[in-house]
Chains A and B, each alone.
Chain A
Amino acid sequence: MNTGEKEHAELADVFNKDEARVDWHDETLWWIRAKRDRSVHQLPEWEDLRETASKIKFNVLSNLSGYLEQFEAQAKANGVTVHWAADAKEHNEIVHRLISEQGVTQMVKSKSMLTEECHLNEYLAEHGIEVIDSDLGERIVQLAKEPPSHIVLPCIHKKKEEIGDLFHKYLGTPSNMSDPQFLTETARQHLRETFLTRKVALTGVNFAVAETGEFVVCTNEGNADMGAHLANIHIACMGIEKLIPQRKHLGVFLRLLTRSATGQPITTYSSHFKKPREGQQMHIVLVDNGRSVQLGREDFRNSLKCIRCGACMNTCPVYRRSGGHSYHNAVAGPIGSILAPNLDMRQYADLPFASTLCGSCSNVCPVKIDIHDQLYKWRQVLVKEGYAPTVKKIGMQVMTTTLNSPGIYRTAGKLGRIVMRLAPFAVNNGLNPWYKHRDMPTPPKESFGEWYKKNRK
């Protein structure tokens, strides 16, 4: 992700330069959050479903190695080739090898945040292989040469006029054409050509069933089916946490996933893949890439319950007003802020701080991940590991010394209020970030402590 060394606060500041756009982004995502609310309130059993899903996933995480072995054995028995990848590099190499073996230089891909996490497209491009993303939103950001800004709605940050310009440039639509119906039809024709001519198709995996060795891919556009059914070889890439124990558990997760994601009762296409059709090859790549490390972090293991619905992003008031790219990670928003530091503490030390800890994310999470509590815990870990800026460290030390002593606290408070009253310019200036968009409180003549001493003792 090419955001250089910039941190969330700086990137969010840039995003906020265009306030009208922030309003539009916020309202678009809030509309989806509201749709989610209406949709879940139709199910009186909603909270029971969340609790059940959370427990199933807890069971999975507690017995992950056993379920993985069971899944591998069943998948092999079904005629699927199973690959194991310890990290992103191994994953990319496996996929590259499988494509190369077919003697082709092009592949069609359905949406997979795992491949974003592994930077597969860039890796394959460096090796002379062209990847066409077939999810409409992903195709749009691919044409714009940008990463997705949301795990479910990859181009939610783009307006239809901007998409029209991209299609004009790359797909030959008339200029200034931004009618969604027209643009979608154009994309449909363009992708149909891709589906018909690609020999290798890659899909993600939403749920893999240990009991049967099968897996389910959920899309609203049917693009995973189109790719996989027309290609000679189907590669499915999944994080090892995507397992569920039995087929019957799918009923719980399929009901939760899309209501949480977009407010739809169910995904348009929930495609079940079990074995390759005759003459076809089916491969599954099971990817760790830091997941077993996270599993070993007791405070953060629950983050692996995530089913990638994106509800925490839609509800997050910070995400809605800072944009997905400000998180400079494949998975943005609250859940991304928990997952990213596990991959690289230094690079993502800023993300757990990009939250007010309002807790809405934990409430919408369909598998009840304690997201905001984990953000709080990451802050403690990151500071202890030495990733706090020096200025902040000094400030916190000064604050601690002041607050540890009632005498110093009272004197400092009194002095501070006098300065604010008599020399407001000392605090009302450009060096005070509070003052940029907000006035300071008017300091009272006496503190409550001073009042109490006079009036009650």
Chain B
Amino acid sequence: MRVGLFIPCYVDQFYPNAAIATLQLLEKLGCEVVYPQNQTCCGQPMANSGFEHLTHGCNELFIKNFDGFDYIVAPSGSCVLHVREHLHDEHDEAKAVDIRHKVYELTTFLTDILKVESLPARFPHKVGMHQSCHGQRGLKLSSMSELVAPAFSKPGSLLAMVKDIELIELNRVDECCGFGGTFCVAEEAVSSKMGKDRVADHLQHGAEYITGVDMSCLMHMEGILKRQGSNVKVMHIAEILNGVEN
């Protein structure tokens, strides 16, 4: 199985450990993983700001980089959702559609395609799982508190395979952290208040780490934790599932 590794721009630049863990984890599980080195960004920052018409270049690059793989996997629900919903090719739309169907968020790829049932990981800490909205409500990674439907969680089922991990409960199971792409600066006041409240819920329940499928939400919460002088760390779920303990 040839997997194209799609690493979002800000993960590439700021959180290489999340990317390395994703790569190692996929390799550990038997995938042939290739990282196309000319990738940049999926174009989501422009699109969510109303500038979808400026994303042609990013789309072209994405298609050029990821054409021909069996699957494309990324450690980000948000970027995958953007590609799934908005990747187009004005010359060859069929190709874009093909890629849209082949792109997977990491935890879904593990549960739905690789059908992982056990992992050799250990993480002896109290961990809070942040449900990132685009992954949860957009890609349906977990059940949503608003809907009358059976409960499930793809990332949760993977974390349950990790030895000695203690997952904490939250008062608000799936409240948004307030990152929201350019929202975090355009609406700084509300964004940071949302982040503070989200972090407080985790802290109140004794989290030592906050994890999730989207590094962007975690980056936002990390910024708040650091400002508060907290020892609580954020860590992408790939790093926990890969068994790397920092």
Residues of A within 8 A of B (CB): 8-9, 12-13, 15-16, 19, 22, 26, 30, 37, 40-41, 43-44, 46-47, 315, 317-318, 321-322, 352-360, 362-364, 376, 379-380, 382-384, 388, 392, 396-397, 399-400, 402-406, 409, 413, 416-417, 433-434, 436-441, 443-444, 446-449, 451-453, 456
Contact = CB atoms under 8 A, between A and B. Distances in A.
Interface in B11-61: 11-17, 19-20, 23, 35, 37-41, 43, 45-55, 57-58, 61
A438 B9 contact: no
A379 B55 CA distance: 14
Contacts of A317: 175-176, 178, 194
Nearest to B57: A404
B180 A356 contact: yes
B137 interface: yes
A22 B48 CA distance: 27
Q: Which secondary structure dominates where chain B touches chain A? A: helix
Contact of A318 (B41, B149, B194, B223): B194
B39 A12 contact: no
Given A8-B187, A360-B137, 15 more contacts: A16-B189, A40-B148, A47-B148, A317-B178, A318-B178, A318-B190, A353-B50, A360-B146, A380-B52, A400-B54, A406-B39, A437-B196, A438-B192, A441-B222, A451-B20
B193 A19 contact: yes
B129 interface: no
Given A12-B187, A400-B57, A438 B227 contact: yes
A417 B13 contact: yes
Contacts of A448: 7, 11-12, 16, 19-20, 35
B156 interface: no
Contacts of A449: 7, 12, 35, 37
A363 B147 contact: yes
B50 A383 contact: yes
Contact of B133 (A22, A356, A384, A397): A356
Nearest to A434: B185
B153 to A, nearest CB: 16
A383 B15 CA distance: 32
Given A403-B40, A404-B61, A438-B220, A9 B175 contact: no
Contacts of B149: 47
Contacts, number: 209
Interface residues of B, number: 73
A357 B133 contact: yes
Contacts of A376: 47-48
Interface string B213-235: 00000011011101100000000
Contact of B146 (A37, A396, A404): A37
Given A321-B193, A359-B133, A448-B12, A436 B41 contact: no
28 contacts: A317-B176, A321-B193, A322-B190, A355-B183, A357-B48, A357-B133, A357-B180, A360-B176, A363-B137, A379-B48, A383-B49, A396-B49, A399-B45, A399-B46, A400-B57, A403-B9, A406-B38, A406-B40, A417-B14, A438-B220, A439-B222, A441-B15, A441-B223, A446-B16, A448-B19, A451-B19, A452-B35, A453-B37
